[in-house]
Amino acid sequence: MSILSDVLSTILERRYPWQPAREADHRSDEALIADLLSNAGEVSGLTSARELLERYAAKDDAAKIAFFAYLAERLDIDPEAVRSALDAYEAEPGPRSYRAFLEAAEPPRQELVRRLNRVPGATARLVAMREDLLRLLKRDDPRAALDQDFRHLFQSWFNRGFLVLRPVSWESPAQILEKIIAYEAVHAIDSWNDLRRRVEPTDRRCFAFFHPAMPDEPVIFVEVALTRGIPGSVQGLLAEDREEGEAAEADTAVFYSISNCQSGLAGISFGNSLIKQVVADLSAELPGLRTFVTLSPIPGLRSWMDAEGIDPTRLDDEALRRTAASYLLTAKREGGMPLDPVARFHLGNGAQLHAIHANADISAKGRAESCGAMVNYLYDLGKITQNHEGFAKRQEVAASDAVRGLLPRNGRARKEGA
């Protein structure tokens, strides 16, 4: 009945979008939350949920922190109830005792978020709420445990089965194109003409994941260049005066920019599914494509070089490539994973570290983050599973002989010019 009520409410609000003027609700946030979590009628629950969302949107940061504190402290699990329910399940396992344990182990704030989400359009508001949570509370703040509840729910709501892949072209609605410009996080789009050069030519593609509850908000998108051969410069791909190629003649698909769009979905992985789906779609459309690679930044290279005492102004192109190879193959974070976040992403997807290029991104950002160096990660469809398992289980970095050949014999970068 709850699902039916939600469906009917949504249909009615879309069919008759007007809302009668509501009397001012003078109840406290706490009273609204209690009403929403009660077994009161559906209409009452929707009214309380809508009021809470509207009030939250009007709060300043201090009030938002207080709101999060209430959810974290007053709507937490009851440890004693969890222990009792677990003891009962251990004593007599069965559907009833198991259900009782699950109910005890789930904090009421999770159900609160679910019920807030019944309001049409609430999903985007809740994503924005989590963005506030991540911004306002430090990771070591005990109240930040609340984020685990948002993350748990979002992982279900935004799983691959609900996402829709849509191509983005120059004919796409202006509101979508505006958001592509705003959300581009790798290579800034400077103008509408710049965007047009990326999505209109026959040898360019852009794909984005959308969620049915947020149909006008891309979740993540990828920009693709269709080329002959593997490129080693992003400026060449984005040049205003470049010669447009024929998509049917391309043998390589280059993923040169992948941008997550929603800060409130941080930590929810979409890139792996996005790349695999785009590879499948492009392969079906263009059978001549044989190679799928990225042209990726190395965002942590410059800061690592500074920490290692390596002076980038004293490195020629070959020395820079050797230094980048040392960073990508030997610099590790705790747990043995590569220090570089882009490397972790692509290697975790089963890609291979294929080639390193100097003077590949000579923009101010490219110089500041990676001294202009970029990387091709190769998605070899026959080795993706093998590479992924080696990386996930043993932290093995799949790399070409050409890249490994750049590594000094001692496995460390030489401090040239230091």
Residue 2 predicted with pLDDT over 50: no
Largest CA distance in the chain: 75
pLDDT at residue number 8 = 43
Residue 366 predicted with pLDDT over 70: yes
Q: How confident is the model at residue 12 (pLDDT cuts 50, 70, 90)?
A: very low
Residue 386 predicted with pLDDT over 80: yes
Q: How confident is the model at residue 22 (pLDDT cuts 50, 70, 90)?
A: low
pLDDT tens for 189-206 read: 999 999 999 999 999 999
**What are the residues whose beta carbons fall under 8 Å from the beta carbon of 354, sequence distance 6 or more?**
230, 293, 375, 376, 377, 378, 399, 400, 402, 403
The span from the first CA to the last CA of the chain, in angstroms, equals 71
- Tokens read off for 145: 């445990």
Measured CA to CA, the distance from residue 3 to residue 191 in angstroms comes to 45
**What are the residues whose beta carbons fall under 8 Å from the beta carbon of 221, sequence distance 6 or more?**
168, 180, 183, 206, 207, 208, 209, 258, 259, 261, 274
Residue 334 predicted with pLDDT over 70: yes
pLDDT at residue number 418 = 40
Contacts of the segment 273-279: beta carbons below 8 A, 24+ positions apart: 273/160, 273/163, 273/209, 274/165, 274/207, 274/209, 274/220, 274/221, 274/222, 275/222, 275/349, 275/379, 277/165, 277/207, 278/165, 278/205, 278/207, 278/222, 278/224, 278/253, 279/253, 279/379, 279/381
Judge whether 212 and 164 are in contact, CB under 8 Å: yes
Domains by residue range for the chain, with CATH: 27-158 (1.20.140.90), 160-406 (3.40.630.150)
pLDDT tens for 264-307 read: 999 998 888 999 999 999 999 999 999 999 999 999 999 999 99
| Angle, helices 61-74/146-157, rounded to nearest 10 degrees | 90
Q: How confident is the model at residue 40 (pLDDT cuts 50, 70, 90)?
A: low
pLDDT, mean of residues 302-319: 96
User: For 164-270, where are the E strands, in sequence order?
Assistant: 164-167, 204-210, 220-227, 252-260
Judge whether 377 and 296 are in contact, CB under 8 Å: yes
Residue 5 predicted with pLDDT over 90: no
Burial (CB < 10 A; 0-12, 13-18, 19+), residue 381, is middle
